Amino acid sequence: MRIADKFKDHIPVSFEIFPPKGELGVDTLRSILDEFKALEPDYISVTYSAGGSGNSEKTVELVNIIENEYGIDASAHLTCINSNIGEVRSVLEQLKADGIENILALRGDRIDGKSPSDFHYASELISYIKKENDKFCIGAACYPEGHIECDSFSDDIRHLKEKQDAGADFLVTQLFFENELFYTFREKAVAAGINIPIEAGIMPILGKTQVSKMIFKCGASLPSAIIRILNKYENDPDSLKKAGIEYAAEQISELLSNGADGIHIYSMNRPEIARDILKIIGE
C-alpha cells in the first residue's frame, strides 16, 4: 500500500532498519522481522548506502523480504549523489519487479574521492523517479533544525518545498530531541506551502558513542535533559537504555497529543526498543 494513503485515516507508526553488512544472516534476520511484525507497524523502511557501507543491493533484497514474505508494507531508501542514472534506473526496475511501491528519495552524503554524479539534490532524484514511473509513492527527508550543510533555515525550507513540487508525497524528519523544534519547523513548512504529511522521526538514545556519532553527522542539538541522562548513567548501560526509551516515549506521546501526522522510530535493528517504546505509549 502507498504510504501516503496511510495518513488519510490514522496516524502511522513506522520503523527504520538497516541491511546487515555482508550476507543476510537468515536466522537472525527472520527473528528480527518476526519481532517487528508482532508490533504491527504501518511500514518498515530500509536504509541505503550507495558506495558507503556496500549494502545498497541488500536494501532491495531486504525490502522485498519484508513486503513479500512478511506482508508488511516496506519503503526502500534510495540515495543519488554517489550513483549515476543507470544505477538508479536499475534499482527502480528491481523495485517495480518486486512490487515495491514506496521509496524514500534522498541525496545521500558525499563520499570523498567519488566523481560527481548525475544528480546533485534529492529533488532531482524525485523528478527522475516520477518521470520513470509515476506509480511510486515517494517520501523525502526534512530537517527540523535545518540540514547541516544549509546556511539558512529559510533556504532549507525553500528547497524542501522544491521536493514537494517535484512530486514527494510525504516527509520524514531527521531525529530531534526537543519537540518545540519540530513544532516551529512544521509551522514554517506549512507557511511555505508544504501540505504533505510530515512524520516525526524519533531516535531513542542508547549510549554516548551512538549519540555523539549521530549529532556530529546530522547537527541535531542535544538538550540538557539528554546530557544529564548520559552523565547519570555513564557506567550503567541498562539504566541508560531504559531512560533513553522513556525519553523517546515521552517525546512521542507529546507529539501525538500535538497533532503529529505520523511517527517514525529509528529503531534500527532492535525490535525490543520499538516494542518497549510502544508499550509505554500504549500503542
* Contacts of ligand FAD in 177-206 (CB under 6 A): 201
Conformational region of residue 197, where left means phi above 0, alpha means psi within -120 to 50, and beta covers everything else? beta
> Which residues does 122 contact at the CB level (< 8 Å), separation at least 6?
80, 105, 106, 107, 140, 141, 163
Conformational region of residue 139, where left means phi above 0, alpha means psi within -120 to 50, and beta covers everything else? beta
State yes or no: residue 58 binds ligand FAD (CB under 6 A).
no
State yes or no: residue 109 binds ligand FAD (CB under 6 A).
yes
In this chain, which stretch among 93-101, 156-164, 185-193, 269-277 interacts with ligand FAD, using CB under 6 A?
A: 156-164
State yes or no: residue 106 binds ligand FAD (CB under 6 A).
yes
State yes or no: residue 164 binds ligand FAD (CB under 6 A).
no
Instruction: Kindly write out the interface string for residues 247-266 of this chain, putting x where it contacts ligand FAD by CB under 6 A and - elsewhere.
Output: --------------------
Q: How far is CA 47 from CA 17, 43, 61, 136, in A?
A: 6, 13, 12, 17
In this chain, which stretch among 152-160, 207-215, 222-230, 235-243 interacts with ligand FAD, using CB under 6 A?
A: 152-160
State yes or no: residue 149 binds ligand FAD (CB under 6 A).
yes
Active site residue 40: no
How many Cα neighbours within 13 Å face the side chain of 127?
A: 11
C-beta closer to ligand FAD: residue 199 or 276: 199
State yes or no: residue 123 binds ligand FAD (CB under 6 A).
yes
Buried b (16+ CB within 10 A) or exposed e, 14-40: bbbbbbeeeeeeeeebeebbeebeebe
Smallest gap from Cβ 79 to ligand FAD, in A, equals 5
State yes or no: residue 121 binds ligand FAD (CB under 6 A).
yes
Smallest gap from Cβ 157 to ligand FAD, in A, equals 9
SS3 23: coil
What are the cell numbers at 254?
507529546
DSSP string, 146-169: --TT-S-HHHHHHHHHHHHHHT--
- Using a 10 angstrom Cβ sphere, with 0-12 exposed, 13-18 middle and 19 or more buried, the burial of residue 251 is buried
State yes or no: residue 56 binds ligand FAD (CB under 6 A).
no
Smallest gap from Cβ 144 to ligand FAD, in A, equals 10
Interacting residue with ligand FAD among 63, 67, 75, 107 (CB under 6 A): 107
The residues assigned a catalytic role are 16
Interface contacts to ligand FAD, rule CB under 6 A? 47-49, 77, 79, 104, 106-109, 121-123, 141, 147, 149-150, 155-156, 159, 163, 172, 174, 201
